[in-house]
Amino acid sequence: MSKVKVSNEWKRHVKQEYIRLRQQKRYKRADEVKLAWNQNRMKMTESLIAEQKRWTDSKACWVPLPDIPSHVTCMKKAEVIGNEDDIGAGDIQVTPIRIINAVTPIPTMYTWAPIQQNFMVEDETVLHNIPYMGDDLLDQDGTFIEELIKNYDGKVHGDRESGFIDDELFVELVHALMQYQEPDKPEKKDKDKDKNKEDEKKKVPDFPAYIIFQAISSQFPDKGDPEELREKYIELTERTDPNAPPECTPNIDGPNAASVPREQTMHSFHTLFCRRCFKYDCFLHRLQACHPGPNLQKRRGPDLKPFTEPCSPDCYMLLDSVKEKMAAKAKQEEEAKGKSNAEAGPSSEAKSNGSGNGNGNGNGNSNPRKVCKQQSVDSGNEASSEDSNDSNKYKEKPKKIFSIDANDQDQVSTTTNFSLLGLMGANDHKEWTGSDESLFRGIHKIFLNNYCAIAQIMLTKTCQQVYEFAQKEDAGVLDEETMRDYTPPRKKKKKHRLWSVHCRKIQLKKESNSNHVYNFTPCDHQGSCDVQCPCIGAQNFCEKFCQCSSDCQNRFPGCRCKAQCNTKQCPCYLAVRECDPDLCQTCGADQFDISKITCKNVSVQRGLHKHLLMAPSDVAGWGIFLKDSAQKNEFISEYCGEIISQDEADRRGKVYDKYMCSFLFNLNNDFVVDATRKGNKIRFANHSINPNCYAKVMMVNGDHRIGIFAKRAIQPGEELFFDYRYGPTEQLKFVGIEREMEFL
Amino acid sequence: MPPKKREKDLDSSKNPRIDHIQADHELFLQAFEKPTQIYRYLRTRNMCSPIFLNRTLTYMRYRMSRSHKSRINFKVDSILDKVTSRQDHSTIQPGFINITFLGFSDKSLDHSAQTAQVETVLLKISHKKRKDSSAPSMQISLGTAEIPVNPDDQQIPMTAPTISVSTDSFNPSNGPLAKSYIFLFRVKIHIERANSDEEEPALKKRKSNGTTDMMNEKIYGAELTVYDKYNRCYLADGDYDVILQDFTSLTKSSPKKPSSWENGKDIIETCGNINLMMKGGAMLKFKLNWSPEACAKYVDRPKLYPLSENKENIPLANNNDNKEKLQIVYQFVYNNNSRQQTEACEDLHCPWCSINSDQLYTLLKHLKLCHSRFTFTYVPISVGARIDVAINELYDGSYTGSPHDLISQPTVCAFSRNGPVRRASVTHILVCHPKRAKPSLSEFLELDDCEYDGQRPFITGHNRLYHHTTTCLPIYPKEMDVDSEGENDPEWLRNKTMMMIDEFTDVNEGEKELMKMWNLHVMKYGFVGDCQIPLACQMFVQHKGKELLLKNLYKNFVLHMGSLFDFGLVSAVCLYTTIQKLQEMAGETGAIRNVLKESREAQIDNWSKNGIQSSDKPSTSKSTGRKTGNVGMQRRKGTPTPSETPIRRKSVGGETSRKRP
| Among A220, A106, A504, CA closest to B464 | A106
- Cβ-defined contact of A224 to B652 (cutoff 8 Å): no
Alpha helices, DSSP H, located in A311-430: 320-344, 348-362, 379-384, 406-410
- b (16+ CB within 10 A) / e for A261-300: bbbbbbbbbbbbbbbbbbbbbbbbbbebeebbebeeeebb
Side chain identity at A201, as an amino acid letter? K
* Cβ contact B448:B429 at 8 Å: no
pLDDT band per the 50, 70, 90 thresholds, residue A487: very low
Please give the backbone phi and psi of residue B395, each rounded to the nearest 5 degrees, phi first: -60, 125
Distance of CA A742 to the CA centre of its chain: 44
Chain B window 600-659: which residues touch A at a Cβ cutoff of 8 Å? 600-608, 614, 618, 621, 625-626, 629-630, 632-633, 636-637, 640-641, 645-647, 649-654
Distance separating alpha carbons of residues B532 and B545, to the nearest angstrom: 18
How far apart (Å, rounded) are the C-alpha atoms in residues A3 and A666? Answer: 53
Residues 567-586 of B with CB under 8 A from A: 567-577, 579-580, 583-584, 586
In this predicted structure, what is the pLDDT of residue B474?
A: 83
Alpha carbon A546 to chain centroid, angstroms: 18
Q: Kindly state the DSSP code that residue B638 receives in the 8-state scheme.
A: S
Judge contact between A633 and A709, C-beta under 8 A: yes
Amino acid at site B646 = P
Helix ranges restricted to H, A475-601: 480-486, 492-512, 534-537, 571-574
- The nearest alpha carbon in chain A to B617 belongs to A259
How far is Cα B411 from Cα B418, in angstroms, rounded to an integer?
Answer: 10
Q: Are B501 and B509 in contact (CB under 8 A)?
A: no
Contacts of B531 in chain A (CB under 8 A): 397-398, 581-582, 590
Q: Identify the CA nearest to A276 among candidates A166, A120, A406.
A: A120
Model confidence over A226-253: pLDDT tens digits?
777 777 777 776 655 444 445 567 778 7
Cα(B388)–Cα(B333) distance, integer angstroms: 6
Does residue B140 sit at the A interface (CB-CB below 8 Å)? Answer: no
pLDDT at B3 over 80: no
Give the per-residue pLDDT at A32: 93
Three-class DSSP category at B563:
helix
A422 class by beta-carbon count within 10 Å (0-12 exposed, 13-18 middle, 19+ buried): exposed
User: Which residues of B fall within a CB distance of 8 Å from A433?
Assistant: 603-604, 606-607
DSSP conformational letter for B72: H
Q: Name chain B contacts of A578, Cβ cutoff 8 Å.
A: none
Residue B226 and residue A562: Cα distance in Å, rounded?
74
Q: What is the overall mean pLDDT for chain B?
A: 69
State the DSSP H helix or E strand holding residue B287, giving kind and residue range, or none if neither.
Answer: strand B283-291
A280 touches chain B (CB under 8 A): yes
B457 in contact with chain A, both atoms CB, cutoff 8 A: yes
Residue A263 in contact with partner chain B when CB distance is under 8 A: yes
Count how many Cα atoms sit within 13 Å of the Cα of residue A530 in the half-sphere of its side chain: 3
What does the pLDDT read at residue B599? 80
Q: Which amino acid is at B24?
A: D
Residue of B nearest to A455 (CA): B576
A578-634 pLDDT, tens digit each? 888 888 878 888 888 888 888 888 888 888 888 888 888 888 888 899 888 888 889
Which amino acid, residue B227? Y
- DSSP for residue B225: E
With a threshold of 0.85, tell me whether the complex ipTM lies above it.
Answer: no
State the Cα–Cα distance between residues B15 and B8, nearest whole angstrom. Answer: 11
* B335 vs B280, residue with greater confidence: B335
- Model confidence at A116: pLDDT above 80: yes
Pick from A424, A446, A744: CB nearest B565:
A446
Q: Express each pLDDT in A471-485 by its tens digit.
A: 777 654 444 444 444
Chain B positions in Cβ-Cβ contact with residue A396 (cut-off 8 Å): 534, 570-571, 573-574, 577
Spell out the residues 6+ positions from residue A123 whose beta carbon is closer than 8 angstroms to its own. Answer: A644, A645, A647, A648
CB contact under 8 A, A245 and B636: yes
- Stretch among A396-410, A509-523, A643-657 having the lowest mean pLDDT: A396-410
Is the model more confident about B292 or about B156?
B292
Contact B361, B1 (CB under 8 A): no
- Taking a contact as any Cβ pair under 8 Å apart, which residues of chain A between 103 and 132 contact chain B? 103, 106, 109, 112-117, 122, 125-126
Contacts of A161 in chain B (CB under 8 A): none
pLDDT digits (tens, 9 = 90+) for B431-447: 666 666 677 777 777 55
User: CB-based contact (8 Å) between B446 and chain A?
Assistant: no
> Region A329-344: what's the mean pLDDT?
63
Interface of B with A in 400-429 (CB under 8 A): 405-407, 413, 425-426
State residue A35's pLDDT score.
94
Separation between Cα atoms, residue B63 and residue B593, nearest integer Å: 91
- B467 in reach of chain A (CB within 8 A): yes
pLDDT digits (tens, 9 = 90+) for B483-540: 776 777 888 889 988 988 888 877 888 888 899 999 999 988 888 888 888 899 999 9
Is there a contact between A407 and A343 (Cβ–Cβ < 8 Å)? no
How far apart are alpha carbons B541 and B586 in whole angstroms?
Answer: 11
φ, ψ at B349 (rounded to 5°): -80, 145
- Give the span between the Cα atoms of A379 and A344, in whole angstroms: 12
Distance CA B546, CA B535 (A): 18
Cβ neighbours of residue A57 under 8 Å, at least 6 residues apart?
A: none
